[in-house]
Amino acid sequence: MLDSIPLSTLQHQNRCGIHTHTSMNFTSHSHLLILTTLLTVVSPSLSVHAFAMSASSSPLTWEGERRTRPQPQHANTSHPIIIGYAHNVQSGKAEQAIQDGVNVIIWSFLHFDSRPIEHVPEEKEEEEEQSSSPSAQHKGIIRTDLDLNAIRTLRNKYTHVIHLAAFGGWNGPHPPASFTGEEYCEIFMEFNAAHGYLFDGIDLDYEGHDDRNAPTAKFTLITLDIMADLSTHAKRTYGMIVSMAPAESYLDATAPDGSPDAIFSLRLDLSPRAWTSSPYASEEDRALISSVGFSHAGRQCYAYVLAKAGIETFDWVSIQLYEAYSPLAHELSRRKVDPVDALMARVKRLTSGYIVRDVPGVVTSEYTVKIPLSKLVLGVANKWADGLKFCKVDASWLRSAYQSSVVEYGEGFGGIMFWTIEEEGSEPDSRFTLQLSRAFETEFDRLEHSISQEL
């Protein structure tokens, strides 16, 4: 019998109340048929669009078979990679974004889940009952409502583009503790194999929840361990592309050294420090935050994942500067800091390193967050940002910051990420990807484009 597949709210980093997608339950016969067509059945454990695997299944290897493509490299100092999140491939906007210059599409979202094993073969009952492992009584599941067939078509058409699977999202579920990070990696790899290695890697984007009483309004060390171990196993065992996308407060390089804001916390329900407790916060700022009842910031929580997995595990780290009431939003909208200076302040601190205190598992309890320039990606919003709650960042500012990085370090930062391709417009002036491509276009690019047009 086909199961009802609950799909979690498809919100991303838009942080509490904007771009909210309705939670859906596919229970009707027609919906189940649609979902069934999106899945290649390879195991009796498969259930509609949820891929299940027993924790005892043999590990998969994909050396010689995997289709992971080389990650985009800025061979010169003029082009960062351009990363866009997307969900609805049928809209045609993802294809337009590729044509406009996107190198990497991160598909949002997929969700790990676990389901109790209902029927245990008689000969294994005693062994299963004696096992102390939670995963022995559960099967791992991946849930998604992405149109995987349509993504496959897009992938085959544009062979230079990388496709990653995003896990998490704002209001999204955190992975259950039934499995370890390594086991979740195996579950993903078997899912990926079932779909012809559709995804070249994974993106970790676990965040908080609108409801501050929800279980996911805070992290647990188990969740952070799963994130770190999943990432490490994906990179070391399979050579996958692995990225993370922390909200700015989750990896806040602008927190003053030695301040409470530089202390690790599991909480995701804190007041935004730049607007409430920083030396630059005004009474007007505090009154605004109080009036809207916003308390959804974190505090250096992703430092734990970096400390455990190591920066070498990640191909890039995308800092969500568009987090609601982020430090950057305060600097640009309230303090009127020069936007290029504000961006470069983050580049400098993240690449030179800043100290986070009270990080569990670290011998000295202090961990230095330090991201190589080539792995640093600045995450911004496209046209949906309002300029107050969510900061607006112009393509020309990013270009100027990139040039400043080249002057100071001899190379630019690794890339630019934006949320979301779904908000790209139809006209050239309303397409952020195209604005970025034009901003970073060089004379050589223009000459090359002119020649190709003539041919």
- pTM attached to this predicted model: 0.84
Query: Would you say 215 and 261 are in contact if contact means Cβ atoms under 8 Å apart?
Result: no
pLDDT digits (tens, 9 = 90+) for 175-201: 999 999 999 999 999 999 999 899 999
Query: Would you say 317 and 36 are in contact if contact means Cβ atoms under 8 Å apart?
Result: no
- 220 compared with 4, residue with greater pLDDT: 220
pLDDT digits (tens, 9 = 90+) for 104-129: 999 999 999 998 887 545 554 433 33
Query: Would you say 281 and 354 are in contact if contact means Cβ atoms under 8 Å apart?
Result: no
Rounded Cα distance between 329 and 86, Å, is 23
Query: Would you say 330 and 346 are in contact if contact means Cβ atoms under 8 Å apart?
Result: no
Residue 118: per-residue pLDDT: 74
Both tokens assigned to 216: 């996911």
Residue 83 three-state SS: strand
Rounded Cα distance between 23 and 6, Å, is 8
Both tokens assigned to 231: 């990432």
Highest mean pLDDT among 6-10, 133-137, 393-397, 446-450: 393-397
Rounded Cα distance between 233 and 384, Å, is 36
Widest CA span in the chain: 74
Query: Would you say 324 and 14 are in contact if contact means Cβ atoms under 8 Å apart?
Result: yes
Residue 135: per-residue pLDDT: 63
Q: How many CB atoms lie within 10 A of CB 60?
A: 18
Rounded Cα distance between 288 and 16, Å, is 16
Residue 134: per-residue pLDDT: 58
Residue 143 three-state SS: strand
- 127 compared with 360, residue with greater pLDDT: 360
| Mutual angle of helices 395-409 and 339-352, in 10-degree steps | 40
Give every CB contact of residue 213 below 8 A, 6+ residues apart in sequence. Answer: none
Q: Taking all residues of the chain, what is their mean pLDDT, rounded to a whole number?
A: 83
Residue 38: per-residue pLDDT: 31
pLDDT of 251 over the 80 cut: yes
CATH class of the domain whose range is 5-454:
alpha beta
Rounded Cα distance between 450 and 445, Å, is 8
Residue range 79-94: mean pLDDT, rounded: 96
pLDDT digits (tens, 9 = 90+) for 298-356: 999 999 999 999 999 999 999 999 999 999 999 999 999 999 999 999 999 999 999 99
51 to 20, 151, 222: CA distances (angstroms): 26, 17, 23
- Rounded to the nearest 10°, the torsion over CA 231, 237, 238, 239 is 70
Rounded Cα distance between 444 and 447, Å, is 5
Nearest to 137 by CA among 114, 160, 154: 114
**Beta strands per DSSP E along 183-236:** 201-206
| Confidence grade of residue 136 (pLDDT, cut at 50, 70, 90) | low
